[in-house]
Structure 1
């Protein structure tokens, strides 16, 4: 019979390790002991500096003061991601965290706009999106309203290394034990194969009932010890390298991430309070390292303040994120490139899933199977959303983009695209991280135009439709002039 899980050991620090430790200890409290093992001698990847709105839920559950968090992590506000040169050279669109317009029951707003466009109204979706309007105006403030039409959902850009330090300080205050050391040997039970302890080079032994592997791409427990295996998705997401380099802060910090497509990949630009985060994600089969280095270094907005760092990766996921008494979280569980800033969310999501399915009276197969099923579905849904950006393109200027246009995509994605093309309908999968609004913005932004609209869009006369659109646009535009600039907001709010 399984023994109760009383002690959890997290192997590895960084963002993944400290999110795991902080959230589990906060949720489970005295029900568990929690020890985190890390070594200052091991560096972290530390390029995951952009997030999506659920990060706010994480901070709220932890009880973190937002102003303190913004100060300590040198964070800025993120209203969305601006995709440049993805559909075609010179074209751009914003995937915002908001929802455009105002929908009717059973009829999304874009159907109304589609009908209006056929009546010679030349306005576009983003003119009805408050996040877009604020992003382009460089404005931001927290809008407190019960009316969803003027919600302004947001996330953050932050220094991942500073966030890990912030969470370490928080975690140790609530009872997480940190042990410094390098793992020399991993002990297993000869009968069950479960991990029983970590033997450190210092001679110390760390025992536990449940182990969380946050050891990065190596997967010290999940792969090197348990040989769990990896499902390779590099045929769908062909980029397998990144070059990261920080640069000096710009005078004005934009409240959004920039994603700029190049001949064999794309470049990120992330504004922080003290510097800029930059990087190039690229396919090594379409571009040499020197070519990639020339591309990123030749496209910085400001002076580099450190040497560029090359990171190799393989997109995909572990066949089992939970194997025996080891749960892989973060890079050890799989990797989906940072195109939609999902890396930190996948950490958060895995810890929340574990909290829901925590094996209080011992590990059993039903809990493990459900965890792995939910994890696989989440990875696959995010994968499809990322593939959409690459596949739906009009670019023909390089072998990379030609290959992206003509690759075979998952049936699940092909079905979603075809429904939207024919009817403008969007059907969100259960628990899909990305909302209908997200799918809509990327499909339209990448050039997928629906041929039809929902018949409910015809219930209004031409005059009433025009009047409704005018009013919605006015409501969305109204807050802009009253909002402070993004930098002014940060200056005032961080002083609190």
Structure 2
């Protein structure tokens, strides 16, 4: 007879482990199942300065986290979107904002109305119709409030924070909710001889930790899902060829606390810039087929805002995912499940959605195939949809100045992405598929920003007189301007509400 799962063992800490522990403790409560997290202080985590997307706010609110306390404790800042430099072509830049552009009218996407007039100088700047893009440019920030029809009611934002501090913050919270932390390095994994399920892990000290459900948050190595259960890894390097990163923090500079992440494309990869209160996080993502480690580090160090605060740290990875995220009684969450390079700040989202889908398909002692199959299908689909969005940045480019960009511009791409690109080029339309993470606004921002062109805009917008369309777009741009003027400086807002000690 099936029973409920009474013991959960999380292998690995870091952001993935402690997000999982805190969420399970919060939702399941202390009486449903014991939750044990095993981590070793001797094993480092990948954690660097982390950039997120707005969905992280939902997760924090679920845990009852006070926003100002969270930003203060993680030495964080706020994020309104991502600026892309040199991606569509050298010397070009664009902004991928959170939130929407303008407002839809007469049942037709605002994007189509803008496309109708984009050839006119007065309306050529797409950012003029996004409060988040304009505020980012002006270094302004505030959270939304009830301002009626004003764009100020719909401010969308996320955070930058120190990933190590966020993990410690969540650890404190999880332990107050009954999660037990065990220090130690795992040296052996024991499996049930009949079912093949994981039965226990053994630590270097000789201690055994048994459990019913095991969650693998052990990082790239995938101690349980990969090394023990043998679930293979699906390699996406043909579409996303970058396989290395080098990271280094640097000193903040005056005026550097920008409310956005910056991604700057170089000859064989790209550089991130993530501003925190106490420093700036930087890294270079690159392909080792086209750039050596030394060359990557030199490029990164030569393009910092301030003095480097540590030696460069190198990370190797393969973009892709496990063939199955849930195998037997083991669920992989975080880097053990897969890796999507940080171009659009999706790493924490994949942790978050993995946790949410585990809870909505939570097993009993049978670990039934139906629940596992559904979980795996949803997580693989989510990964593929994000993959396609990331590929777009590399493939839809006019750059041909290096062998790396030649490869990206001419490589074969998944058919679902190819169809999206064909539809946009034909009619200017973008669609969100299957409730995917990135909506039509995100696709539109990147397609336009990368330099894609459309043959014709949606003809339905021509039901509105051209003069009326001009008047409405001018009104929207004016409302955005007034809203930006109303907003405080980003650094000033942090000093008033959530400055780190």
Instruction: Give the structure-1-normalised TM-score.
Output: 0.98
1: CA distance, partners of 2:169 / 2:48: 16
The 5-angstrom pairing of residues 430-469 of structure 1 reads 430-469=434-473
Contact preservation (8 Å) 1:102, 1:149: no
2: CA distance, partners of 1:134 / 1:402: 35
The 5-angstrom pairing of residues 388-399 of structure 1 reads 388-399=392-403
What is the count of residue pairs matched by the alignment? 496
1: CA distance, partners of 2:435 / 2:451: 26
Moved more, 136-145 or 233-242: 136-145
Structure 2 residue 194 is the aligned partner of structure 1 residue 199: no
- Partner residue of 1:346? 350
Cα deviation for residue 249 of structure 1 reads 1.8
Moved more, 457-466 or 418-427: 457-466
Contact preservation (8 Å) 1:48, 1:338: no
Cα deviation for residue 120 of structure 1 reads 6.4
Cα deviation for residue 467 of structure 1 reads 1.1
Structure 2 residue 216 is the aligned partner of structure 1 residue 213: yes
Name the SS of the counterpart of 1:217 in structure 2.
Answer: coil
1: CA distance, partners of 2:288 / 2:231: 26
- Map Cα deviations across residues 27-64 of structure 1 (whole Å, 9 max, x no partner): 11121211100010110001261000000000000000
The 5-angstrom pairing of residues 303-314 of structure 1 reads 303-314=307-318
1: CA distance, partners of 2:47 / 2:463: 52
Structure 2 residue 272 is the aligned partner of structure 1 residue 272: no
1: CA distance, partners of 2:142 / 2:20: 30
- Partner residue of 2:359? 355
2: CA distance, partners of 1:368 / 1:148: 45
- Map Cα deviations across residues 313-340 of structure 1 (whole Å, 9 max, x no partner): 0111000000010000000001110000
2: CA distance, partners of 1:38 / 1:315: 25
Structure 2 residue 482 is the aligned partner of structure 1 residue 481: no
Q: Name structure 1 gaps, 5 residues minimum.
A: none
- Partner residue of 2:391? 387
Structure 2 residue 291 is the aligned partner of structure 1 residue 287: yes
2: CA distance, partners of 1:120 / 1:314: 44
The 5-angstrom pairing of residues 316-331 of structure 1 reads 316-331=320-335
Contact preservation (8 Å) 2:358, 2:375: yes
Structure 2 residue 40 is the aligned partner of structure 1 residue 5: no
Name the SS of the counterpart of 2:51 in structure 1.
Answer: coil
1: CA distance, partners of 2:122 / 2:135: 23
- Partner residue of 1:125? 126
Contact preservation (8 Å) 2:150, 2:479: no
Contact preservation (8 Å) 1:48, 1:344: no
Cα deviation for residue 123 of structure 1 reads 2.8
- Map Cα deviations across residues 215-258 of structure 1 (whole Å, 9 max, x no partner): 00110000110000010000000000000001112222000001
Contact preservation (8 Å) 1:48, 1:343: no
Cα deviation for residue 473 of structure 1 reads 1.0
Contact preservation (8 Å) 1:215, 1:332: yes
Instruction: Give the structure-2-normalised TM-score.
Output: 0.97
1: CA distance, partners of 2:125 / 2:245: 34
Moved more, 137-146 or 52-61: 137-146
Contact preservation (8 Å) 2:35, 2:179: yes
Equivalent of residue 161 in structure 2, options 154, 158, 161: 158
2: CA distance, partners of 1:334 / 1:120: 44
Contact preservation (8 Å) 2:212, 2:365: no
